[in-house]
Amino acid sequence: MTTLTQARPLVGPAGPSQPPRRPGGARRFFARLPVRLLVLVIVAVEILPMIWMLLSSFKTQNEFVTGSVWALPTSWDFGNYVEAWVTGDFASNVRNSILATVPALFFLLLFGVAAGFALEVMVWKGRSTILLMFVAGIMIPGQMLLVPLFITYFNLGLTQTIWPLILTYIAMGLPLTVFMMAAYFRAIPREVFEAATIDGAGMIRSFWMIGLPMISNAILTIGLVQFFSIWNDLLVALTFVTNRDLATIQVGLLNFSGEYGAMQYGPLFAAICLNVFGTLAVFLFLSKKIMAGMASGALKG
């Protein structure tokens, strides 16, 4: 009797599995192509000027006058940075900007956070009217206040000090800070503060122990927004700074001119690079905190 045995096919070692192709891949690619090109154009518009500015900071005065605007520097000499920092007195301008920005930012955040807590968490008569007054203050152009403020500072004998800048920055930034802080406190459930009150915590303790930790990202976000606004200000500093020794960075950039008003382009571009890339480094370092702060104010807890 004959037994038929069916031969089994030989199975080799399994190779790497190929991922299944998704239908319509090319169609989706071309559908997203305009958006990608738009993003590429926006990135180019932001990046290319900074690259050009950085390369121009290494050029000599003769290269600016006789050479092409788009030509590369012939040598990578840091002499322009040394001249901007020492001869152009850029170091003093940085010191003055710090002296004007740090106190103004500290009191601005302190008063703004405290006012936002009082207007949103505490219950008292007339708080809605006060909040509307702060919102109305956002709509007042700051340029209208410069001349009256200058006269007031002059009569008080403050024009030869840094105090006009500090006080003006606090006054101009307070309406927006109060409004934003009130919005962030509104996103915190009221039951949190009610539970703290039941446990025996007063308003001051609730503010320091509960309110501040819960909006720390929001404080950092508003602080950075106000920091860039104060640090990059030119109009207020140019109006109230009557002493060249008190000039901030933005005012100091106007002083890079030689005889008969000839602009010293190399040191000027070097000073601009120090200012731009310094603030850009701060923003990139704290970018995650900024995004977290913006998201915390957009969600109701």
51 with 166, same domain: the answer is no
> Sign (positive/negative) of CA torsion 253, 259, 262, 266?
negative
Q: Which DSSP symbol is given to 257?
A: B
pTM over 0.85: no
Q: Is the pLDDT of residue 107 over 90?
A: yes
| pLDDT tens for each residue of 24-41 | 567 787 788 888 899 999
43 with 144, same domain: the answer is no
Query: Are 159 and 252 in contact, with CB atoms under 8 Å apart?
Result: no
Residue 18 pLDDT class (50, 70, 90 cuts): low
Kindly state the tokens that stand for 54: 């950085």
Residue 216 pLDDT class (50, 70, 90 cuts): confident
Residue 191 within any structural domain of the chain: yes
152 with 55, same domain: the answer is no
Kindly state the tokens that stand for 61: 């005065």
Residue 1 pLDDT class (50, 70, 90 cuts): very low
Domain that holds residue 73: 35-77
Q: What is the rounded radius of gyration, in angstroms, for the C-alpha atoms of the chain?
A: 29
Domain of residue 242, CATH code: 1.10.3720.10
- The values of phi and psi at residue 185, to 5°, are -65, -30
Query: Are 218 and 296 in contact, with CB atoms under 8 Å apart?
Result: yes
47 with 191, same domain: the answer is no
Query: Are 179 and 206 in contact, with CB atoms under 8 Å apart?
Result: no
Burial of 198 (0-12, 13-18, 19+ CB in 10 A): exposed
The rounded Cα 293 to chain-centroid distance in angstroms is 13
152 with 254, same domain: the answer is yes
118 with 183, same domain: the answer is yes
67 with 99, same domain: the answer is no
271, 210, 228, 230: which is closest to 84 by C-alpha?
271
Residue 26 within any structural domain of the chain: no
Of 44, 77, 110, which marks where a domain is finished? 77
Could you give the CA distance from residue 168 to residue 266 in angstroms, rounded to a whole number? 33
72 with 158, same domain: the answer is no
Residue 288 within any structural domain of the chain: yes
Q: What is the pLDDT of residue 299?
A: 47
Q: What is the pLDDT of residue 203?
A: 84
Residue 301 pLDDT class (50, 70, 90 cuts): very low
Angle at 277 between CA 165 and CA 257, to 5 degrees: 65
228, 226, 225, 230: which is closest to 278 by C-alpha?
228
Q: What is the pLDDT of residue 263?
A: 77
180 with 45, same domain: the answer is no
Could you give the CA distance from residue 298 to residue 183 in angstroms, rounded to a whole number? 9
Instruction: Specify the length of the chain in residues.
Output: 301
Q: Which residues contact 196 (CB under 8 A, 6 or more apart)?
A: 205, 206, 209, 210
123 with 61, same domain: the answer is no
> Sign (positive/negative) of CA torsion 206, 212, 213, 215?
positive
Residue 223 within any structural domain of the chain: yes
Query: Are 84 and 267 in contact, with CB atoms under 8 Å apart?
Result: yes
Mean pLDDT, the chain, rounded, equals 83
56 with 100, same domain: the answer is no
Could you give the CA distance from residue 186 to residue 183 in angstroms, rounded to a whole number? 5
Q: Name the helix (H) or strand (E) containing 280.
A: helix 265-285
53 with 161, same domain: the answer is no
Q: Worst-scoring range by mean pLDDT, 35-39, 56-60, 62-66?
A: 62-66
| pLDDT tens for each residue of 251-262 | 888 877 655 556
Domain count across the chain = 2
Q: Is the pLDDT of residue 15 over 70?
A: no
Q: What is the largest CA-CA distance in the chain?
A: 126
Amino acid at 169: Y
